A and B are shown apart, each in its own frame.
Chain A
Amino acid sequence: NAGVTQTPKFQVLKTGQSMTLQCAQDMNHEYMSWYRQDPGMGLRLIHYSVGAGITDQGEVPNGYNVSRSTTEDFPLRLLSAAPSQTSVYFCASSPPLPDTQYFGPGTRLTVL
């Protein structure tokens, strides 16, 4: 099992550009989520999904879109990147909460 994979590992964008952060899991988990990690702020939930076709907002959803067309994949889209979105992004998956979440290695995004 590869677990949770994220691509890319690093990305630099200019303000206003769009991009998609990829996340995939091979554990057949129903629950997937996206967090951002900023110094001194811990992990904050952006969006989550409880199954294919079902998504919902987390704590900091503005500026981000998600969709879940398959159990395996949960991409995060930035439609128009802003410097405030400079952060490290983590994807996680789990059986239905509450249960252990398995985290990917993260994507470090810089928006200039």
Chain B
Amino acid sequence: AQSVTQPDIHITVSEGASLELRCNYSYGATPYLFWYVQSPGQGLQLLLKYFSGDTLVQGIKGFEAEFKRSQSSFNLRKPSVHWSDAAEYFCAVGGGATNKLIFGTGTLLAVQP
């Protein structure tokens, strides 16, 4: 079955610290992977996506993610977190033969001053 797992429901980091949010997927075909961010009371905004090519993907707001096929992972990273990064982050997977995206349950990020 196709699925996305975000094992961390809630993460707290200090401002200026590094961040890694985990995402594992199960998908039968070549996966297309996405990270979205949702600020409180807002819709979702795309941070970055991976379709093919270089497995290290750069996104907006200084985020990056690395696709590791052997580990079925697509972890999101940021070297130095800002207070404005506090939000909920969703990983999603889709494929070329389907018209559906499957979302993880999200990771809520809190940033301490």
Chain A residues within CB distance 8 Å of chain B: 4, 31, 35, 40-45, 48, 50, 56, 58-59, 90, 92, 96-98, 100-101, 103-106
Residue total for B at the interface (Cβ-Cβ under 8 A): 25
Question: Does B13 belong to the interface (CB within 8 Å)?
Answer: no
Q: Indicate if the CB atoms of B94 and A98 lie closer than 8 Å.
A: yes
Can you name 15 extra interface pairs (CB under 8 A) apart from A42-B103, A48-B99? A40-B9, A40-B105, A42-B104, A43-B90, A45-B100, A50-B99, A56-B99, A96-B99, A97-B99, A98-B95, A101-B46, A103-B36, A103-B44, A104-B43, A106-B43
Give the complex CA separation of A58 and B2 in angstroms: 13
30 contacts between A and B (CB under 8 A): A4-B43, A31-B99, A40-B9, A40-B105, A41-B105, A42-B4, A42-B103, A44-B103, A45-B100, A48-B99, A48-B100, A50-B99, A56-B99, A58-B100, A59-B100, A90-B43, A96-B99, A97-B94, A98-B51, A98-B101, A100-B34, A101-B46, A101-B101, A103-B44, A103-B45, A105-B42, A105-B43, A106-B41, A106-B42, A106-B43
